[in-house]
Each structure stands twice: as C-alpha cells, then as structure tokens.
Amino acid sequence: MEAVNLLSSNRYTEKQIGYLFISVLVNSNSELIRLINNAIRNDLASRNPTFMGLALHCIANVGSREMAEAFAGEIPKILVAGDTMDSVKQSAALCLLRLYRTSPDLVPMGDWTSRVVHLLNDQHLGVVTAATSLITTLAQKNPEEFKTSVSLAVSRLSRIVTSASTDLQDYTYYFVPAPWLSVKLLRLLQCYPPPDPAVRGRLTECLETILNKAQEPPKSKKVQHSNAKNAVLFEAISLIIHHDSEPNLLVRACNQLGQFLQHRETNLRYLALESMCTLASSEFSHEAVKTHIETVINALKTERDVSVRQRAVDLLYAMCDRSSAQQIVAEMLSYLETADYSIREEIVLKVAILAEKYAVDYTWYVDTILNLIRIAGDYVSEEVWYRVIQIVINRDDVQGYAAKTVFEALQAPACHENLVKVGGYILGEFGNLIAGDPRSSPLIQFNLLHSKFHLCSVPTRALLLSAYIKFVNLFPEVKTTIQDVLRSDSQLRNADVELQQRAVEYLRLSTVASTDILATVLEEMPPFPERESSILAKLKKKKGPSTVTDLEETKRERSVDVNGGPEPTPASASAVSTPSPSADLLGLGSAPPAPTGPPPSSGGGLLVDVFSDSASAVAPLAPGSEDNFARFVCKNNGVLFENQLLQIGLKSEFRQNLGRMFIFYGNKTSTQFLSFTPTLICSDDLQSDLNLQTKPVDPTVDGGAQVQQVVNIECVSDFTEAPVLNIQFRYGGTFQNVSVKLPITLNKFFQPTEMASQDFFQRWKQLSNPQQEVQNIFKAKHPMDTEITKAKIIGFGSALLEEVDPNPANFVGAGIIHTKTTQIGCLLRLEPNLQAQMYRLTLRTSKEAVSQRLCELLSEQF
Amino acid sequence: MQFMLLFSRQGKLRLQKWYVPLSDKEKKKITRELVQTVLARKPKMCSFLEWRDLKIVYKRYASLYFCCAIEDQDNELITLEIIHRYVELLDKYFGSVCELDIIFNFEKAYFILDEFLLGGEVQETSKKNVLKAIEQADLLQEDKNAYCPRAFFLYVASTDAIGCPGGSWLFMKPCCYGHS
C-alpha cells in the first residue's frame, strides 16, 4: 500500500522507488491492481515524458492480463500520436509488444496499425528499432495487416547496409552500422515470402552486400566487431534460406558457412553447423552442403565442446542421403563409442533412422543395428529394436541373414539384454532358416538362448518363453527339452505372475494341442502394416516437432496414402496373429503370442472366446463414413453419422489456426444409453500436428435426449490424417461400438486472400519448383455446374478470384493455411473440360505435403 | 529474450529480469539449473547452448556471468553483443563497473536495463541516448548531490551479510575495451 502511495507522489525519487517496488513484487491482488492502474493512468496522461516512461516500463515489466485489459487500448494511441516524444514512443512500442505476447486477444487491431508501419521510416533509429520488434511479432499473426512493412523494411535495410560506418553516429557499433536494427529488419522479412520483383531486386542487392562485406578484411580486431558483423550475416543467411528461391545466394551462403566451419572462434563453428543444418534441406544447396562432409566428420572427432559436437551430429543427420549414408552411419557409430552420455540416446535414434531410411542392402541394416546394440545397448530404446524386428519380418530376403547374425552375436560371453530380446524374437520366428547347419541346430539354438535366460529381466524372460513355444512348433525334436524347462519349478511356480502364466499356458498348449493347432497358433508373424517409423516419432518427441518434421517432410517420399488413418482391427480370434493398433509389435513385451485368458482346457475353440468381448477394441470405421467425411470438407455443419440408435451432428467454426467443434450426440431410441463414452483417437503422427482438447460427457444419455461435446482444436503444423471419433455405449444390455472419421481437415485453417491477376501469376511463378506443385486429372462425379463449383471452392476456404485466369471457364483461388508454427500460402486452379466430363486441378503451395493433401481433399469434391 | 540472469562465479544471483510470466518456484528452479550448467562449462567452450527448448547465450566478465535465454529463431551473436552493450552501459555509468556496484546499486542496474531492453527486446541501442535518459532521471532526484557509487553500501551490507564477493572490474584489462 505504501508503494502505491509512492506512485502518486510528485517527487521523482519516490515515484521511481514505488515503480521499482511494484515491478518486482506485484502479484494479481485485485484491489491493489486497481489502485496501481489508476496511478499509472495518471502518469500516462501527465505528458511528462519521464513519468510516462516510468509508467510504460512498469506495464512492460509486469505485463499481466489485468494491465493488458486496462491499457491495451490506450498505448497504441500514445504510440502513433504525433506529439509523443521519441523515447516514449520506443517504450510504448515495446510495452504494447509485451502486452500482445501475454494477451493477444486484448490488443485490438485498427487504423493505428498502418501508422505503426510508417514508424519504419522514422528519423530516430531508436524508434525504428523498437517499432520493428513490435511489427515483427504482430506480422507473424496478422501478415495481411502489415504486408506494406516489407518494402519499407527493405529500403531501410538498404540505407543501413550501404551507409558509411560514421553515418549513423552512435548507432554504429564497433564499425558495424546499426547491427541490432539490421538483424531485426531481416527477421521481419522472414515473416513474408519473397517480395515483388522491384523490391526483391533491392533486397537481393542488400543480401549480396552483406555477403560481400563478410569477405572484406575486418575493420577492427575486436571480437565485438566480428560478432556484430556476423550476427547480421547469419540473419541474412536465415532470410536466404527462408526464401529458398535464389540458388545463387544459397550457394554463396553455403560457401560462407563452409569457411566458418574451420574458423578459430568456437562460437562461429557452432553457428555455422547449426545454420548449415537448415541449408541441407534446401534442394538448391543440398549438394553444396555435402562438399563439407569431411570437415563436419572431423568436427565430430576433434571438437572439445559437447554442444558443438551435438550440432555436428545434427548436421550429419541432415546432410545424409543415399550416397553418403554408409560413410555417415559408420562415422556416427564409431563416435558413439566415445560419445557423451547426454547425447547418446539421440545418436542411437539417428543412426537407426538413417540406417533404415537409406538401406539399399538390408544385411547392412541388420549389421548396423546389432552394432548399435553392442556399442550402446543401454541407450537403445524399445522403439529401435521393435523396428528392426518389424523390418526383418517384412522383408523375407533378410530373414536368414538376420537369424545367422544374431545367432553369432549371441555367442559372445556377455551380450546386452536388448540383443537377447532381438535374438529371442528372431530365432523364435526364423530359427528354422539356419537349423540345417549342424553348428546351429535347434538344440544348440535353444541352449544358447536359455544360457542367457537367468541373467535377464522379467519382460525379456517372458519374451524368451514365447520364443521357446515357437521352437516347439518349428522343431518338434526339442519339444521334450522345452517342456522340461517349462515344467521346472522355477517357471511353473515363478513369483512373477506373467512368467508363471506363460509357462503354464505354453506347457498345456504343447501337450494338449495337435500339430495343426500348434502350427496355426504359432504361425510366423504376418508382415507389419507400413506406417511411420516409431523411432522417428520418438525422435520428434524428443526434439520437439519443428526440427525434425521439416526435414523429414521435405524428404519423405509420397507415401502419404499408405499411412492414412489408423488401421481398424477387427476384434476377433485372428488377433492372435494380427498386429494390434495399440502396440507397435504384437506380444513382445506385454501380451504373449498366445491367449492370456484362463489356461486352455480344450484345444479347439479356445481362441475365440478370449478375444470376442474385448471392450477396449476400436470398431472399424462405420460404412459410409468416408462419403460423409468428404461432404464436410467444404462445409462445417451437418449430420456426420446416423443409424437406428444414434445420430451425430456437427457444428464447427475455424479461425486462423484455431477451431472449435460442437459434437451433438442424439439418442434416437426411448431407452437410456449407459456408459456412453466418446473418445477422440489421433495417430502418433497426428498428435504432434493437431491439438485436440475436450471434456468427457455424461455417461448416461436419456432416450430422445441430445448431449453436446465441445472439441477445441489447434493446428500446430500441417497434417494429413483425420482423427477418429470412437463411441462406445451400452444399449439395452448390448455393447455398441461406432467409429467415424472426424472431418478436421487441413483446409479448415484456410484464410482466403484476395489478389489481383498480376499478383496471382507472379506468386504462381514463384512457386514453380516441381515439389511445390501437385496436379490431379479426374472424372467429374457430379454434374458440372459453375455456381456449385464456385460455392465449393469458397467452402473449401480459399478466396475465389474472378477475372484472373484468361479462360473464364477456369476457377482460380488463393489463401493462406494457418498453423501454429507457420503460414503456408496456397494457390489453386481448377480447369473443367465439359466435353470429356473431366477436371484438372493444380495446387501450388510452398510445402509439398500441403499441396498434396489439399489436392486430395479438393479432388473428391467435384 | 525470455530472461536475463547475472550471477557470480560462486553461483550467487546478482540480478534477474524475466520477460515471461513464471511462478517463483519455476524461476528458482531455472536459475539453479542454469547456474550449475553454465558454471560447469570450460572457458574455451562456445557461448551458446541448447537448454530445454531455449537457447542460452552467456558470457563471463571477470567474476560475473551474464546469461540470456532466447527463443529458437533469435540471433545468438547479436544477443552476445546485447550483453556486451549492457556491460558497456554499466561501465560508463559507474565508471569501471565491478560486481560490488551492481550489488549495492542494483536499482540503478535495473533502471539502465529497462532503458536498454524492454519486454525482452532492444529498445535503444545508442549508448548516449540510454545514459542521457538515466542522467536526466538522476537530475530529477531531489537530493541534487552528485551520484555516489557506494551510497547503499552499509544499508545493503547489513541485510546481505553472507559474504562479500570480490570487487574485480568486469573488464579485466581496460585496454581491451576501447570506449573511452
């Protein structure tokens, strides 16, 4: 309270101490906040620049939501008022920036925005510096409102880079003209695609000047000079990479970074490795980056700082392609032997991914992974060894080799438990392929595995027991030996329930069942459905989606369709040999490849009962749900699903990268639904790209009643799959299970963009890389009506641009896909051919996966 | 920038500035973790490291570590120079600044920082303009006495009796720093 009194004092010292106190100690005590806000308001209105400055600093330091509520409307006025002092303008700009960061919803956009943009032209460089920060942040969320800032920023930048070092007086820092402002302007330009040709030429000149200056001899030996100069250079390179359109600049940037790779400053080597990592994913500079491979490998070996070595690993991972994979993987493996513990797990994941991705020869892949387990077994996570088994099972040409190699590897007196797991699994499946050799006869194989048994943990032992029962099927001659092992007290009376149960069940199975049943139950595992590698998912989780996804997305082959949607698995007896959707590998850890129910009493029908009423299984997609799904691509409201019992209606709205969907469940019967549980299911892939939040609904739905569920949606990055809505409930004693695809599609995050013909074609030309364009020619499924087609394109989310295409029969659209991480500009063109009843649809966006997905979605509509 | 920390070689926090809302508990945890990490690094190592999803930029001046946390897309080198410019400002204002100046005149250090950085962004990069603002504010102080660098010495020393850190200059060799 005393502090608040100090605020209203007219004495500067008292006021200053009051503000300092409040900045440090204030919390959201509502009563005090009102008094404080009052005092601040008085100071803001005081027209005394020092008092206004104090008040603005205080708002920026506290930055709470209450303050935003009170002042978010006021500060823009101070910022753009003609008579505001420069220093107050600076504070006001950054103060507003802080409020916008805490509560973007409270800062209203308005006519002040255009006047803020003109601050880029201000005489006072300090004002320009502060304003640039504000504009950059605002432009990230509202690119349209601030797009005029691009040309102003370019001309300001051009004036700075061409100025002599004395021109800017105190804004020159160690002979570098306004480095902070330059960096900020370059950063602002990274919010936008490459500008129009006129501006672009000027910008290219600026970037060239910056690159040229890097070659000039330093004007000072001080580290500050080189730091400031290189800060601008690195930011310029980021912009070049962001635009990714000038091959010449990209290659120059790459060469410049190449020089830094051998610089004596550790900081520069670090940054060069980091920056080159992003360059590696651009098609123009990928080759240029590759020329530095030896230097990078050398960095891995000789750098004394672990964080630099970490960057080198990242870069090797990014620059790897089919031609260099063997070399890079070998280098990473040899580095792994001495690598720091903190980064071992990540290296293991990366080696595993590269080995898989670029394996031409799968025997090399198997060798690599086994080496990985040998060198760094503790850091090999489950995903890695799951994956090697998936691959061995799916490729029959490598199975024999894998069996032979693991058999040899297991000979070592001490081997890692992960190797025992892989060995147990692979020999259990494919041991027969090497059993012909007397050195690896069935009995020897079994004895080898069993010699490791006692040293292993419970899950591994469980896996080995499963391998044994598979041996019973593969090699009848060792059946009695295995039965003896299973029968021994250490198994049948094992303290662990899982082991005990497996021993009992397997023993019974081997004695009771006929060879036919054994052969069916213990059949070889069927191939696993192709889907995103679980290792990749793990690496993404570790590193956060941004770093890895981009790289992968650009390199990934067009296998989108193969991975679309989680596979529905019918819950039936076949589950014994079908991979379940929940675990990546059936049975390895938790469930044995035979039923876990009560011990079998009779051989025949034992499998059916156990799995028939599994309440947790997800029903296959309801018939017709694909059709309904397609209908929602261009509209937001309607009935998604209906049968005799249940109706599901949808109402949704989307703004930028956020959305909200109301799901209405209607009970069409007169009886209550019990244990009514709708669940949203996202595949691992989708989970990182789309955030869905919802609350559970009331588990009982009365007859004739409707319940509502709200789903909040946030699009983090572009995505392909759709979430699945699974509904389970009991109706009159029977269990009902319905799954439908929920129509949350990428185009929902479209914002239409109006543009003139000239602009359109110019942008169209900018997106001329073959990856950026996706085209589809298809037969019309509906009557070809111009008005309906127009409505559909608008419903799809893009703007419909009239009088752009020279042929009036064609349709042209433009829009921006908003995701949390980026915004992706999209252009589309639809050419109908009435005679042939065909359409040709062309999409161009800056991102291949987005073009692909939008084209798929829209093609279904006509 | 998300936050800036100043701490001594002994790991004592000397100044902290947070530009993102965090609970006190969280701030303490971050500080403890970072101080440990940074102090464990050797002198020749690079000044940047990845930490959680942030980038840490730090530099040591004599007995004090200046440590900034920036976001993924921010520029490391320019942040390093933000630190240097702040040290220059302190140095110019206090006249060969040392750790003791910051301990006993922490409020001045905060005022200078506020004039230089606001809301985590650079507000004014001109050394003259920042110091002018501070000097104007000093002039407004009622006791028109010339600024006395050790004025708060006794007052603060009594509350912070745990031991006095060394008073070495932040710029170890005046000749390697050429502002005067």
pLDDT tens track for A346-388: 888 888 888 888 887 888 888 888 888 888 878 888 888 888 8
Q: Touching check for A20 and chain B: CB below 8 Å?
A: yes
Question: Which member of B46, B118, B119 has the closest CB to residue A266?
Answer: B46
Q: What pLDDT sits at residue B142? A: 53
Is A298:A327 a contact under the CB 8 Å cutoff? no
Residues of chain A found within 8 Å of residue B141, distances taken between Cβ atoms: 12-13
Q: Is A302 on the interface with B (CB under 8 A)?
A: no
Residue ranges of chain A with pLDDT lower than 70? 1, 24-30, 165-166, 530-534, 541-620, 622-625
CA-to-CA separations, A50 to A142, A350, B111, in angstroms, rounded? 33, 56, 12
**Distances from the Cα of A650 to the Cαs of A510, A662, A712, A743, A750, in angstroms?**
53, 6, 13, 9, 19
The Cα of A346 is separated from the nearest Cα of chain B by a number of Å equal to 14
Question: What does R_g of chain A's alpha carbons equal in angstroms?
Answer: 33
Rg over alpha carbons for chain B, rounded to the nearest Å, is: 16
Closest-CA distance, A357 to chain B, in angstroms, reads: 27
Q: Nearest residue on chain A to B108, judged by CA atoms?
A: A20
Spell out where A199-245 has E strands: none
Query: Are residues B118 and A227, on separate chains, in Cβ contact within 8 Å?
Result: no
Least CB-CB distance to A224: which of B44, B84, B121? B84
- Determine contact: A136 vs chain B, CB below 8 A: no
Please say whether the beta carbons of A636 and A651 come within 8 A: yes
Task: Select from B99, B67, B96, B94 the least CA-distant residue to B163.
Answer: B99
Out of A94, A231, A305, closest to residue B123 by CB:
A94
Q: In this structure, are strands A811-818 and A750-752 parallel, antiparallel, or unpaired?
A: antiparallel
> Residue for token digits 């499924």?
A781
| Contact A11/B at CB under 8 A | yes
CB contact under 8 A, A270 and B133: no
Q: Euclidean distance between the first and final Cα of chain B, in Å?
A: 29
Nearest-CA distance from A261 to chain B in Å? 13
Beta bridge pairs of residue A680: A725
Identity of the residue in B19, B75, B85 whose CB atom sits nearest the CB atom of A234: B75
What's residue A182's pLDDT? Answer: 94
Tell me whether residues A95 and B45 touch, CB distance under 8 A: no
Interface contact A97, partner B, CB < 8 A = yes
Q: Say if A822 is an interface residue toward chain B (CB within 8 Å).
A: no
Tell me if A719 sits within 8 A of A817, measured CB to CB: no
CB proximity A102 to B under 8 Å: yes
| CB contact A126 to B (< 8 Å) | yes
Give me the pLDDT at residue A736, please.
85
Minimal Cβ distance to B118: which of A57, A180, A184: A57
CA angle B133, B136, B140 (to 5 degrees): 140
Encode chain B (180 residues) as per-residue pLDDT tens digits.
999 999 999 999 999 999 888 888 999 999 999 999 999 998 888 999 988 889 999 999 988 999 999 998 899 999 999 999 999 999 999 888 888 888 888 888 988 998 999 989 999 988 888 888 888 888 877 554 444 443 333 333 333 333 334 445 555 433 333 333
Query: Alpha-carbon distance B121 to B4, whole Å?
Result: 12
Chain B: closest CA distance from residue A12 (Å) = 6
Burial state string for A295-326 with b = 16 or more CB within 10 A and e = fewer than 16:
bbbebbeebebbbbbbbbbbbbbbbbbeebbb
Task: Find the CB nearest B107 among A20, A50, A173.
Answer: A20
Number of helices and strands (H, E) in chain B?
Answer: 6, 7
Nearest CA distance, A7 vs chain B (angstrom): 15
CB contact (8 A) between residue A12 and residue B82: no
Q: Is residue A792 within 8 angstroms of chain B, CB to CB? A: no
- Binding-face residues of A in 145-174 toward B, CB within 8 A: 169-171, 173
Contacts of B125 in chain A (CB under 8 A): 125-126, 129, 171, 173, 178, 180-181
Report in angstroms the alpha-carbon separations of A739 from A500, A622, A640, A698, A821.
Answer: 37, 6, 11, 19, 30
The distance of B10 to chain A (nearest Cα, Å) reads 23
Would you state the pLDDT for residue A209? Answer: 93
pLDDT of A4 reads: 75
Q: What is the pLDDT of residue B68?
A: 96
CA nearest to B85 within chain A:
A173
Chain B residues whose CB is inside 8 A of the A95 CB are: 118-119
Nearest Cα of chain A lies from the Cα of B154 at a distance, in angstroms, of 19
Do the beta carbons of residue A593 and residue A389 sit within 8 Å? no
Q: Are the Cβ atoms of A126 and B124 closer than 8 angstroms?
A: yes
CA distance B128 to chain A (A): 7
Nearest CB to A227; choose among B44, B81, B178: B81
What is the predicted pLDDT for the residue at A617? 52
- Helix H or strand E segment including A255: helix A247-261
Hey, are the CB atoms on B75 and A90 less than 8 Å from each other? no
> How close is the nearest chain A Cα to the Cα of B162, in Å?
23
**pLDDT at residue A644, rounded to an integer:** 81
DSSP symbols for A28-83 = --HHHHHHHHHHHHHHHHT--HHHHHHHHHHHHHH--HHHHHHHTTHHHHHHH-TT
Residues 6+ apart with CB under 8 A from A536: A353, A548, A552
Q: What's the rounded Cα separation, in Å, for the pair A94 and A529?
A: 53
For residue A346, CA distances in Å to A314, A384, A572 come to 10, 11, 39
Query: Alpha-carbon dihedral of residues A530, A532, A533, A534, nearest 10 degrees?
Result: -110
What is the predicted pLDDT for the residue at B137?
81
Q: What is the pLDDT of residue A29?
A: 58
pLDDT for position A28: 54
A-chain CB neighbours of B110 within 8 Å are 20
Subunit contact B140:A12, Cβ cutoff 8 A? yes
**How far does CA A495 lie from the centroid of its chain?**
43
- pLDDT on residue B149: 42
Contact B44 A98 (CB under 8 A): no
Closest chain A CA to residue B139:
A12
A61 touches chain B (CB under 8 A): yes
Q: Strand, coil or helix: what is A607?
A: helix
Nearest-CA distance from A521 to chain B in Å? 48
Q: What is the pLDDT of residue A803?
A: 80
Helices (H), A433-591: 442-453, 458-474, 479-487, 489-492, 497-512, 515-521, 534-543, 545-555
pLDDT of residue A203: 93
Residue of A nearest to B127 (CA): A170
A231, B119: Cβ pair inside 8 Å? no
* Inter-chain CB pairs, A–B, below 8 Å: 153
Q: Which two tokens stand for residue B113?
A: 């920082």
H-only helix segments in A606-731: 606-612, 625-631, 684-687
Å between B159 CA and nearest CA of chain A: 17
**Which residues in chain A have their CB less than 8 angstroms from residue B152's CB?**
none
Residues of A in contact with B178 (CB under 8 A): 222
| pTM for this prediction | 0.64
Chain A (583-622) residues lying within 8 Å, Cβ to Cβ, of chain B: none
A:530-589 residues touching chain B, CB 8 A cutoff: 544, 546
Which tokens belong to B5?
A: 């920390």
CB contact under 8 A, A87 and B107: no
CA distances from A625 to A311, A571, A621, A648, A860 (A): 47, 20, 7, 12, 14
Residue B166's pLDDT is what? 42
The per-residue pLDDT for A754 is 85
Which pLDDT belongs to residue A759?
A: 84
CB A54 within 8 A of CB A16: yes
| Interval A145-160: pLDDT, tens | 888 999 999 999 999 9
Contact at CB, B49 and A307, closer than 8 angstroms: yes
